[in-house]
Amino acid sequence: MKYTPNPPAVVEEMLRSMGLNSLDELFLDVPSPLKLNGNLDLPDGLGEMEVKNHLRSLANLNVNVDDYPCFLGAGAYDHYIPVAIDQLLLRSEFYTTYTPYQAEISQGILQAIFEYQTLICQLTGMEVANASLYDAASALAEATILAAVQTKRKKILLPDNIHPEYRQVLETYAISGTFEVVILPTKDGIISSNDLTSNLDNNVAALVIQQPNFYGVLEEVAEAEKLIHENKSLLIMAVDPISLGILKSPGELGADIVIGEGQALGNPLSFGGPYLGFFATKQKLLRKMPGRIVGQALDKDGNRAFVLTLQAREQHIRREKATSNICSNQALNALAATMYLTAVGPTGLKNVAIRSHQLAVYAQQELAKLGFKLKYKQAFFQEFVIEVTNPHLINERLLENGIIGGYPLTDGLMLAFTEKRSKAEIDKLVAVIGGN
Amino acid sequence: MGKLIFEKQVKGSNHFSLPKENLDVDIKIPEDLIRTEDLGLPELSEVEMVRHFTDLSHKAYGVDDGIYPLGSCTMKYNPKINEWAARLSGFSALHPYQAEETVQGALKLMYELDEMLCEICGMDNFSLQPAAGAHGELAGVMMIKAYHNKRQDFKRTKMMVPDSAHGTNPATANVVGYDVVEIKSNDLGLVDIDDLQAKMNDEIAGLMLTNPNTLGLFEEDIQEIADIVHTGGGLLYYDGANLNPIMGICRPGDMGFDVVHLNLHKTFSTPHGGGGPGSGAVGVKKHLAEFLPVPVVAYDEGTYCFNYDLPYSIGKVKSFYGNFGVFLKAYTYIKSLGRLGIIEAAQQAVLNANYLRHHLRENYYIPYDRLCKHEFVATAKYQMDANNVTTLDIAKRLIDYGYHPPTVYFPLIVKEAMMFEPVETESKARLDDLLAVLNTIAKEAEDNPELVKNAPYTATRRIDEVTAARKPIVKWEEG
């Protein structure tokens, strides 16, 4: 299969119009020792039917969450996606367009991003948001750089209950020398004021709080917020967007920078990507915020219009002075999130959060009846850890019973629940874990 | 401009529903953590939500709408089969933490894609983890730093970047902690070898380069460039933004590059999505393989698995394994085209660019008017000199004729630059139409310059970007 439209006769006509005789003449500038001369070891191309069969056969080698109820979370969640969203995402004006550099021909994309930024502000209770970053982990890395630049301090206090992959990404980005990661020990699964206090000094740029944290547990943010701000440091929160349907917003809790994994907002699991990292801050950080930002403007006739704005922050202007090299956003994923938040609305989002939470509570209560204890006793949102010694064995048994189990920890199993699950599925899960 | 979604809401009109199942379970969240503020999301019925986004799609322009000659962006046709493949539930409905034995098809696809990209680039190993081109650059430059660090060579604190480079190159170098040393371009638009030689020393970590470069010109001295950098102890970084016209023709690995990143959303036909998601796969020669981001996909006794055991790895640049839903489209594309299709795509991309350049030169100044690869740079010099009509004016006038403009004012070394990349999936007829329109605009600029200066005359007129940046409004507020 190929997608080049000019047949040989047209190719020849084009060559002749330039006074050329062959396609080879177009590559005279490539030194001959470098030329492959067709010597490329790739298979022959396949026709569309063959490609379909091949891809389908690969897909069929996988077990998927549409066929098997899934109790895995740990940063990616199997929430329901209203059908209208994918139908709309298939409009090719959206998915085959580029970054809206030419605003007058891209108002649809720009308006959608402006709406996305507004929705993220509404959800997080923050004042400004960017057009999205790659994912939560890289958004957290950008947030820490912003905090270090803003405070002119280096230390980032990172609790040990943060998502391990966020921590890994942060440690990778630390190669820049802009910030250094200090791991904050936690007590009983949550941040303790004592440990926080003993780690505070005048080189602490920010504290990161993940809410709910990696183990699904809800942090008491208020005390930490007070301590960190008294220290003139910033509070960065990494939040689950669905949980904000019921939980107090990070804005209300006093966060300065809020990031999160936006996957749950209308994006399929897709084996880990593409997702989107949302990024919101207080107004005072706007001009230092990384990533693309869409702003409202007026056109020549005085009508409302939208443009990419504040580009003086960005790499194509600042070049080697830029503190972020980001030059794109996850526009299509952000569009999905915009559609999702619109499709479910305020009541729908709250109900999704409540049902996910209630199913988790139900499962925990059923497991408790069989003697399975919570590893962390505090309140959780939609995910919790039970103490078991053999999580891998349990997962294998669940798989044999047509269930995708939880996230295995050394001495526990972490189970996640979304509104898609049912009591019947949970009863089966509990029964298999219980050995029946 | 129509209304924003927030201005269309009707309270009580959203009918999103959940299963009616009675759970009979209390909410067990401490009262002080429960939201008290209004969520504020808009309320719309499904039909009005669908109409809203359909309306927005009418106000966007994609490759399916017509030619999209945005230089350095490789706006080629995005085959529909790619979208079909990404939506198979055996791919889209996989949780990233599923047990390896339940995702063998996904791992096999990643493994094979790694291999095919190695072959196309002449590299030894690939990682699909970075989410975009700039992200791939970041991973690549971090590996260069990790390489020197492992050799205890800490005095290499500078990265060389040509003055024609994309802004992400110097920005990436800075983010990784390098000072940037700019290398001049010569009169031919190529790397100035003398300048390179003069600036190469034992404080230089490497050189970041695209080939063909941002002027669309092939760096003919690439082997000598590689020698200079390697002899001086540096590494050579390939920015794969411009791989399209040379894939299957020659390979960065054979030119001497040590690290490459690819923009799978350019060269390998995955759609740009309005600015993302992309995929910035990063490839290395053997001597850098130990620094790749973890995990890498391995194959052992009939089973595919993730290998996290790379002690010198730079770590992770992203959660999970990269934009799987994107790179599976690149896999589908390479499988469809195969060996000959890949070569033919490169050839026709170069044919189209040269055809457009050749026939445009009558009315537009082309500063480096010689054999180009995938793109070339024209300028508004004639129009500026005669009637003060700028590149921006011409770009906006193109919109009136229903065309997406080329990349403008880049690269920075050319005044009033218009960078055209017509890509291989455009037909001669489409190119002829574009030429006709550009020639018409050149005539308009001569006969009626005000007409062009005030363009576009579309539903949205030219936008005041300066005020937008000075007094930023970045969200909707009631009232």
- Assign residue A407 the CATH number of its domain: 3.90.1150.10
Nearest by Cα to A351 from B236, B19, B69, B52: B19
Q: What is the pLDDT of residue A322?
A: 79
User: Does the distance separating the beta carbons of A41 and B334 come in below 8 Å?
Assistant: no
Closest by Cβ to B395, choosing from A11, A76, A102: A102
Rg over alpha carbons for chain A, rounded to the nearest Å, is 25
Instruction: List for chain A the helix, strand, coil content (%; round to 5).
Output: 45, 15, 40
Residue of B nearest to A345 (CA): B43
How do residues B52-78 score in pLDDT, each as one tens digit?
999 999 999 999 999 999 999 999 999
The residue in chain B having the minimum alpha-carbon distance to the alpha carbon of residue A123 is B39
Q: Note whether residue A355 is domain-resident.
A: yes
pLDDT of residue B248: 97
Residues in chain B closer than 8 A to A54 (CB atoms): 335
How many angstroms separate the CA of residue B447 from the nearest CA in chain A?
23
Is B274 close to A99, i.e. CB distance below 8 A?
yes
Per the listing, tokens 């349990």 go with A394
pLDDT tens, residue by residue, B16-35? 999 999 889 999 999 999 99
Residue B1 has pLDDT above 60, yes or no: no
* A87 and A154 inside one domain: yes
State percent of chain A over pLDDT 70.
Answer: 100
What's the whole-number average pLDDT of chain A?
96
Chain A residues with CB under 8 Å of B93 CB are 64-67, 78, 268-269
User: Is position A59 within any domain?
Assistant: no
Contact B404 A102 (CB under 8 A): yes
**Furthest CA-CA distance within chain A:** 84
Could you report the per-residue pLDDT of B248-303, keeping only the tens digit for each?
999 999 999 999 999 999 999 999 999 999 999 999 999 999 999 999 999 998 99
Instruction: Nearest by CB to A169, from B56, B319, B463: name it.
Output: B319
Domain span at A219:
83-340
| Every domain range in chain B assigned CATH 3.40.640.10 | 80-336
Residue B282 is encoded by which pair of tokens? Answer: 């990063």
What superfamily does domain B339-459 belong to in CATH? Aspartate Aminotransferase, domain 1 (3.90.1150.10)
Per-residue pLDDT of A305-340, as tens digits, reads 999 998 877 777 777 787 888 888 999 999 999 999
Residue A326 sits in a domain whose CATH number is: 3.40.640.10
Assess whether the previous peptide bond of B277 is cis (omega < 30° from 0): yes
| C-beta atoms surrounding B367 within 10 Å | 16
- Per-residue tokens: B38: 């209004």
Residues of B in contact with A305 (CB under 8 A): 1, 460, 463
Question: What integer is the mean pLDDT of A125-142?
Answer: 97
Residue A211 CA to residue A239 CA, distance in Å, equals 5
Instruction: Say yes or no: A306 and A274 in one domain.
Output: yes
pLDDT value of residue B37:
87
Q: What is the dihedral of CA B340, B344, B346, B347, to 10 degrees?
A: 140
Considering the domain architecture, whether residues A306 and A418 belong to the same structural domain is answered as: no
* CA of A165 vs chain B CAs: smallest distance (Å): 6
Residues A327 and A356 in one domain: no
Nearest CB among A5, A112, A137 relative to B318 is that of A137
End-to-end Cα spacing for chain A: 52
In a domain, A71, yes or no: no
Non-local CB neighbours of A323 within 8 Å, separated by 6+ positions: A145, A146, A149, A178, A288, A290, B174, B175
> Tens digit of pLDDT for each residue in A179-231?
999 999 999 999 999 999 999 999 999 999 999 999 999 999 999 999 999 99
Residues in chain A: 436
The mean pLDDT value of chain B amounts to: 96
pTM for the whole thing? 0.97
Q: What's at B255, amino acid-wise?
A: M
**Number of other residues whose CB lies within 10 A of the CB of residue B131:** 32
Which chain B residues have a beta carbon less than 8 Å from that of A101?
70, 407
Instruction: Please judge whether A123 and B335 are an interchain contact, meaning their C-beta atoms are less than 8 angstroms apart.
Output: no
| A156 Cα to chain B: minimum distance (Å) | 17
Q: Does residue A165 share a domain with residue A271? A: yes
pLDDT of residue A266: 98
Which residues lie below 8 Å from residue B284, measured CB to CB, with a gap of 6+? B123, B124, B125, B126, B140, B143, B258, B259, B260, B291, B292
The count of CB pairs under 8 A between chains A and B is 672
Q: What is the mean pLDDT of residues B206-231?
A: 97
CA dihedral B82, A418, B105, B330 (to 10 degrees): 30
Residues of chain A with Cβ-Cβ distance to B1 below 8 Å are 107, 111, 303-306
Q: How many helices and strands (H and E) does chain A possess?
A: 14, 12
Would you give the DSSP letter of residue B100?
G
Contact: B103, A63; criterion CB under 8 Å: yes
Closest residue to B65, CB basis, from A87, A93, A314: A93
Contacts of A131 in chain B (CB under 8 A): 275
Q: How far apart are CA B295 and CA B97, in angstroms?
A: 13
Contact residues on chain A for B316, CB-CB shorter than 8 A: 137, 165, 168-169, 172
Of A45, A58, A60, which is closest to B336 when you measure between CB atoms?
A45
Q: Which residue among A33, A112, A294 places its CB closest to the CB of B474?
A: A294
pLDDT band, very low/low/confident/very high, at A282 (cuts 50, 70, 90)? very high
Amino acid symbol at A286 = L
pLDDT at A42: 97
Instruction: List the single residue in A with minimal CA-CA distance to B313.
Output: A172
Helix H or strand E encompassing A386 = strand A383-387
Render pLDDT for B418-461 as a digit per residue (tens, 0 to 9): 999 999 999 999 999 999 999 999 999 999 999 999 999 999 99
> Which residue in chain B has the smallest CA separation from A380?
B29
Cis peptide before B411 (omega within 30 of 0): yes
Choose one of A340, A361, A383: the last residue of a domain.
A340
Of A55, A87, A268, the CB nearest to B85: A55
Place of tokens 């011409």: B394
Report the alpha-carbon distance of residue A30 to residue B254 in Å, rounded.
12
Residue B396 has pLDDT above 60, yes or no: yes
Based on the fold, state whether residues A323 and A175 are members of the same structural domain: yes
Q: What distance in Å separates the CA atoms of residue B50 and residue A111, rounded to the nearest whole number?
A: 15
> A379 and B94: CB-CB below 8 Å?
no
| Residues forming CATH 3.90.1150.10 domain(s) in chain B | 339-459
- Is the domain of A277 the same as that of A378? no
Q: Do A269 and B93 touch (CB under 8 A)?
A: yes
Phi, psi values for residue B180, rounded to 5°: -100, 135
CA distances from A3 to A350, B76, B333, B346 (A): 46, 9, 10, 12
Shared domain for A399 and A293, answered yes or no, is: no
In terms of CA atoms, which chain A residue is nearest residue B26?
A358
* CATH number attached to the domain at B80-336: 3.40.640.10
Specify if A24 maps to a domain.
Answer: no
A303 and A283 within one domain: yes
B1 and A123: CB-CB below 8 Å? Answer: no
Give which of A12, A60, A71, A93 to mutate to test B binding, by max B Cβ within 10 Å: A93
Residue B15, C-beta contacts closer than 8 angstroms, at least 6 positions apart: B45, B46
Strands B158-162 and B204-209, by their bridges, are parallel
Q: Give the span between the Cα atoms of B323 and B113, in whole angstroms.
A: 13
The b/e string for B422-451 (b: 16+ C-beta within 10 A; e otherwise) is bbbbbebebbebbbebbeebbebbeeebeb
User: B276 and A330: CB-CB below 8 Å?
Assistant: yes
Largest distance between two CA atoms of chain B: 79
Same domain, A335 and A255: yes
Of A340, A375, A399, the domain-final residue: A340
Nearest-Cα distance to chain A for B396, in Å, is: 8
pLDDT value of position A107: 97
A305 and A373 belong to one structural domain: no
Residue B400's CB is within 10 A of a number of other CB atoms, namely 18
Identify whether A246 is part of a domain.
yes
Cβ A60–B105 below 8 Å, yes or no?
yes
pLDDT tens, position by position, B95-149: 999 999 999 999 999 999 999 999 999 999 999 999 999 999 999 999 999 999 9
Cβ pair A93, B454 in contact under 8 A: no
Check CB contact under 8 Å for A56 and B77: no
Residue finishing a domain among A324, A340, A356: A340
DSSP state of A265: T
Task: Indicate if the pLDDT at residue B313 is higher than 60.
Answer: yes
Q: Can you list the alpha helix ranges (DSSP code H) found in B46-176?
A: 46-58, 80-86, 89-92, 104-121, 133-150, 168-175
pLDDT at position A436 is: 67
State the total domains in chain A: 2
Alpha carbons A195 and A20: distance in angstroms, whole number? 74
Secondary structure of residue A31 in the 3-state scheme: coil
Half-sphere exposure of B302 (CA within 13 A, CB side): 0
Give kind and range of the element (H or E) at residue A104.
none
Asked whether A276 and A267 are in contact (CB, 8 A), the reply is yes
CA distance, residue A197 to nearest chain B CA (Å): 22
Phi-psi map region of B273: left, alpha, beta (phi>0 left; psi -120 to 50 alpha): left
Q: Mutate which of B97, B150, B303 to disrupt the A interface (most A C-beta within 10 Å)?
A: B97
- Is the pLDDT at A175 greater than 90? The verdict is no
The β-bridge partners of A261 are A277
Contact B168 A327 (CB under 8 A): yes
In DSSP terms, A307 is beta-bridged to A295
Contact A299 B463 (CB under 8 A): yes
User: Taking the alpha carbons of A309, A310, A312, A314 in that order, is the dihedral positive or negative?
Assistant: negative
Q: Tell me, what's the pLDDT at B478? A: 87
pLDDT, position B76: 98
CA separation for the pair A365, A371 (Å, rounded): 10
Contacts B426 to A, Cβ<8 Å? 5
Instruction: Name the residue in chain A with its Cα closest to that of B116.
Output: A42
